[in-house]
Amino acid sequence: MVDISIISGVIVFFVAAFFARRYATGCTYPPMISWTFSAIAIIYGMGWSLVIDSIFSGSEGIEGENWIIYSRNYLILHSVAVFIMMAGIILGWQVAGKYSNHIKKYFFINFSLSSKKLSFYAWIILIIGIFLRYLYVQAYGGWIDYLEYSATIRSGIFEINNSWSFLQPFGGLSLISSYLFFSAWHDAQHRGWKRRLTILGFFLAFLFSLYVLYSWLGRIGFVFFLATFFIFYLLNKKISSPVIISIALFGSIFAIYIIYLVSNYLELKGANSFAFFIAREISFPFVGFFAQFQRDEFLYRGFIDFIYSPLHLLPSSWTQNWFDDISEINTLVISGAKKGNYGVTGSIPVDLITLGIMQFSIAGIPIVGVMFGILIRFIQSMCEGIGGVFGIMLLAYFSIRLAFLAVFYAHPSHVIASNFSVLVCLIIIFALSKGSSIVKNSLR
């Protein structure tokens, strides 16, 4: 059964890679569903085979590996679940496509921006981001002293009375401003001193973003931050969509290697072997799936995690006793305790398939797949409606942060937290644009 499971991973890889290229063929830009299938090919295909081979060849040190070892007689169920999820995503993508033109029209009217306005809004967002970050770090002694506390804050074993703790998510505004500056910089119509000012803004935002990322100790966030600029460059140059998807498929190995180097440099979950590092880092979707399947205690949450999801927009200090986040439950099942208790210093993420099975058992997998397909098709239409360099940058951002990354970091709290800053950015731009229009109309 182990050998069959390894082969099933290879089959998943080629099937998902086929659909990734198929949807990309003939498109000006790779659609988000192609990025999703690329992630499925890499994690549920190649990653699955590597993890299973590592565990059953005697490698030790993979957290929760016993859940997989105890499930050796029905490992093939995971690959079956992957194909069910893929079918759900395709169905959701097709259903949402019927409303694509209406979505494009709305966002074209409300969010289409010239490079001049884009640069102006980027400066505003950068200033707001730096100011709010300044307020946040003061409780820890300032910009430099905060770095000494960041690791223990992240682990959940350290608390300090910070009345500005709710400003923590706004640190990502600097990342978004760097994206805006970079896209305005690459607009062919943006010339002269305004372009030079935009370039200056980009470098300021980029440097401050590196500080924020370092303080977050986010290895994946750092790599995907840089990858967004690279993907934007490829999209803006109108490189063939199948070529971009091929780069994503094989370039992901390079990205994982960068994460491996960063992990060793920061002494944060490093490893002596790159192969073992890969197996350990991408094992959690499979451990979570079989742990929940065997525990059989949290398989019928009834989509309550989606109902509660808007509450993740509120400060966590307000909502921490209202409900248990699904990643906390996953951590409890696998590690025996929640993050911050009994030596558990990190939460275990929930991937798309485990998210589905925890909602309504096996039946929850295609339902979550349909929901995800609808979501990425909506975002795709939004980016196409906005158009221009701003729309291309948003497409690059969401292709990585949502369509790709959310496959294996699918719990609603993470999806909302990782995209919180771009949501705030869109609200700021919408408010400023509407305010400007109202002022102009009143002066006529």
Crossing angle for the helix pair 115-137 and 143-155, to the nearest 10 degrees: 80
> How many CB atoms are located within 10 Å of the residue 256 CB?
18
Instruction: Give a yes or no: residue 317 inside a domain.
Output: yes
Structural domain contains residue 321: yes
Strand partners, 225: none
Share of the chain above pLDDT 70, in %: 92
Q: How far lies 441's CA from each of 110, 114, 116, 436, 437, in Å? A: 16, 19, 20, 9, 6
What is the pLDDT, as a whole number, of residue 130?
A: 96
Burial of 359 (0-12, 13-18, 19+ CB in 10 A): buried
- Answer whether residue 140 is part of any domain: no
Domain-embedded: residue 109: yes
Specify if 129 maps to a domain: no
Q: How far apart are CA 17 and CA 22, in angstroms?
A: 8
Neighbours of 198 (CB within 10 A): 25
What is the per-residue pLDDT for 267? 65
Query: How does residue 158 score in pLDDT terms, banded at 50, 70 and 90?
Result: low
How many separate domains does the chain show?
A: 1
Give the pLDDT band (50/70/90) at residue 407. very high
Q: pLDDT band at residue 3, thresholds of 50, 70 and 90?
A: confident
Does residue 139 register a pLDDT over 70? yes
Residues contacting 157, CB < 8 A, separation 6+? 340, 345
pLDDT > 70? residue 159: no
How confident is residue 157, by pLDDT bands cut at 50, 70 and 90?
Answer: low
- Which residues contact residue 347 at a Cβ distance below 8 angstroms, ignoring those fewer than 6 apart? 156, 327, 328, 330, 331, 338, 339
Q: Between residues 214 and 125, which one has the greater pLDDT?
A: 125
> Do 202 and 178 form a contact (C-beta atoms < 8 A)?
yes
Q: Which residue has the higher pLDDT, 346 or 227?
A: 227
Per-residue confidence at 437, pLDDT binned at 50, 70, 90?
A: low
- Given a contact cutoff of 8 angstroms between Cβ atoms, the answer to whether 404 and 248 are in contact is yes
Task: Say yes or no to pLDDT of 117 above 90.
Answer: no
Mean local confidence (pLDDT), 323-328? 87
354: tokens are 């485990």
**Average pLDDT value for the chain:** 88
Report pLDDT digits (tens) over 193-251: 788 999 999 999 999 999 999 888 777 888 889 999 999 999 999 999 999 999 988 88
Q: Identify the pLDDT of residue 440.
A: 63
Q: Is residue 87 in a domain?
A: yes
pLDDT, tens digit, for every residue of 30-59?
999 999 999 999 999 999 998 998 888 876
Domain assignment present for 119: no
**pLDDT for residue 88 is more than 60:** yes
Q: Residue 269 is part of which domain span? A: 1-113+232-442
- Res. 443: pLDDT tops 70: no
153 in a domain, yes or no?
Answer: no
